[in-house]
Amino acid sequence: MSNQCGGECRGGKAEPDVSVPDLMSVASRKDGSISEFEVPKMDCPSEERMIRMALENIQPKVALDFDIPTRRVRVFHQGNIDAIRERMVSLGLGTTLLDTRRIAHSDLTRAMASAGESDKREAAVLKWLLAINAVMFAVEMVVGWLAQSTGLIADSLDMFADAAVYGVALYAVGHSLRMKLRAAHLAGWLQVVLALGALSEVARRFLFGSEPVSTLMMGFGFVALVANIACLMLIAKSRDSGAHMKASWIFSANDVIANLGVILAGFLVAWTNSRYPDLIIGLIIGVIVLNGARRILQMRS
C-alpha cells in the first residue's frame, strides 16, 4: 500500500512503504538493482499513484518504495533502468535519476514479505467494513419499513451499496491499479442505481402518504451513525492506497452525514407531527449518494 501523508505531505520523513506487483520473477534471480529517483513534484499520494500506473506493466517487474516527504522513489529492478527512467520522466514530475546500485537477493525477499503484509492488513479492514455494512443494511431496511421512514430506507440502501463497495474493493486487493480503478467504478455505478431506487421510494411515499415513527428513526439513525464512525476509523489510514480504498472512504464519510440527517429528521417529525422532514431527508440522502457516485466515476488514477 501507499505511504499515508495525512494531508501533511511536506512534513517529517514517513516510514517507507514497499509495493511489489510481482516479485516472484524478480526473486528468482540472485541479485538485482535499486535505483533512487528524485521527484520534485511528488507532493501527495495522487502522484504516487501516477508513478505506480506508469511502471505497472514494465518488464521485468519492478518493486517500488516511496518516501513522499523527501520526494524520493526507490525502484527495485533488473537491468531495465532505461525503460524505467523514460516512463518516470514522461510523467512530467521533474524526475531525476540520482543513483543505481546492486542489491542482494535477501533485500528482494524482504520487499516481497512487506508487500504481502500490506495486502493482508488492507483485506482485514475491508472484511470488517463489509460485515458492518451488511448487518446494518438488513437492520435498517426492516426498521425502515416498520417505521414507514424514507430516511431509514434510503440509508439502508446506502449501507447495501457500501457493503457491495467493500466486497468489490476486497476483490481488488493485490490486483493491479487498473483493476482497482475498475472496481471503484463498478461500485460507483451501483451507488447510482440504488440512489435512484431510494429517490423513487421518496416520490412514492410523497404521493401515497406515510406515517413515519420518529422514535425508531432517531434510535436506529444513532445506531447507524456509530457503525459508520467505526468504519471511518478503520479505513482512515488506508484511504489513499488506491482508487478502491478512496471510494470506500468517500462512501463512509457520506454515510455519517446521512445518519446525522436521519436523527435530525426524526426529531423534526416528533416536533412538527409531519411526515415531510422524513421525506426531505430521504431526498437529501439520495442526492448525497448520487454525488458520491459522481466523485467515484470521475477517478482516473
38 contact partners, CB below 8 Å, separation of at least 6 = 71, 72, 95, 96, 98
Can you give the pLDDT at residue 183? 74
Question: Domain 17-112 carries which CATH code?
Answer: 3.30.70.100
Q: pLDDT: is 173 or 146 the higher one?
A: 146
Q: Are strands 72-77 and 63-67 parallel, antiparallel or unpaired?
A: antiparallel
Give the pLDDT mean for 185-209: 80
What's the rounded Cα separation, in Å, for the pair 218 and 268?
A: 10
Instruction: Select, from the ranges 109-123, 252-266, 281-295, the one with the highest average predicted confidence (pLDDT).
Output: 252-266
Can you give the pLDDT at residue 38? 92
Does residue 162 surpass a pLDDT of 80?
Answer: no
Can you give the pLDDT at residue 7? 44
* Domain residue extents for the chain: 17-112, 118-297
Can you give the pLDDT at residue 197? 78
Confidence of residue 280 (pLDDT cuts 50, 70, 90): confident
Q: What is the pLDDT of residues 49-104, one digit of tens each?
A: 668 767 767 777 777 777 777 888 888 877 778 888 988 888 888 899 998 888 77
pTM over 0.85: no
Can you give the pLDDT at residue 116? 53
CB 210 within 8 A of CB 275: yes
Q: What is the pLDDT of residues 168-180, one digit of tens each?
A: 766 665 566 677 6
Give the pLDDT mean for 246-267: 80
Q: What is the pLDDT of residues 96-140, one digit of tens each?
A: 999 888 877 666 666 656 655 665 666 777 788 788 888 888 888
